[in-house]
Amino acid sequence: MDNGAIVYAFLFAPLIIGLVAGAAIAVMIAIPAAILGFNVMVGVVIRSVAAYLRRRKERVATANGADGPDPEASGGLRVAPKSQPMWDLPREILCAHTICMIVELSSARATTTHPPQAVFSRWADPATWAEWDPEVAWATCSSPVELGARGRLKPASGPASSFTVSAFEADRVFTNTAKLPGAKLVFEHHVAATEDGIEVAVQIRLDGPMAKVWSALMGAGLRDAAASSLDGLLAHLDRSRTWQS
């Protein structure tokens, strides 16, 4: 290789590398931005449709006054009795928006003989999560553990993060939520008495306009998290029952 070729290589190689790196960064920014923009647009459309249908419903309600339907007040609309919600928001629109905003990462369900109080007490004691949940290295939470309480959790693999108790119904529902840019990571726990026994359910999902982006980044690591958490909890309760007996 002559000196001229070497000079050109030194001059243009950084430029080419910079262009490739810039294009890669632009794509990484453009894809999440496009998804966010799409979800915002869907939200605007839904709110507009809901407002339009609400106005139509109000016009019909006004026309159905004490003196009976008034064709002029209804603007020529076919007036329905108040007991028939003609202008409810179509379910298809809500479903389309839900698909964009909510992504389930993992879920599990089981039936047990342990009372709801025993199951719920373990969820409501974050300091003991690491004892029975293989996905948790350690966890702490402000006291008392109640709706709005905040804590920190270190997963078995990954950095520690903050969470908030976003739902708390004694012996029924416990939900802890972690915030992510553009989304929320939700760990929802339910326990209820049924005809077949005590049903326990765990769901892990992402809520928010960037849910699909975060699902692509972390979905694989949480695919079995709900099942392993539920299995660990029930096994822990079985051991506790054996020790007590």
Average pLDDT, the chain: 80
Question: Do 166 and 186 touch, CB atoms closer than 8 A?
Answer: yes
pLDDT at 208: 92
Q: For residue 176, is pLDDT > 50? A: yes
> Which fold, 101-244?
Alpha-D-Glucose-1,6-Bisphosphate; Chain A, domain 4 (3.30.530)
pLDDT at 36: 65
pLDDT at 177: 97
pLDDT bin (cut points 50, 70, 90) of residue 79 is: very low
Cα 34 to Cα 24: distance, rounded to the nearest angstrom: 15
pLDDT bin (cut points 50, 70, 90) of residue 56 is: confident
What's the predicted TM-score (pTM) here? Answer: 0.63
Report in angstroms the alpha-carbon separations of 163 from 147, 148, 154, 175, 186. 12, 10, 11, 10, 9
Question: Do 163 and 178 touch, CB atoms closer than 8 A?
Answer: yes
Question: Do 36 and 209 touch, CB atoms closer than 8 A?
Answer: yes
Domain ranges within the chain, ordered by starting residue: 3-89, 101-244
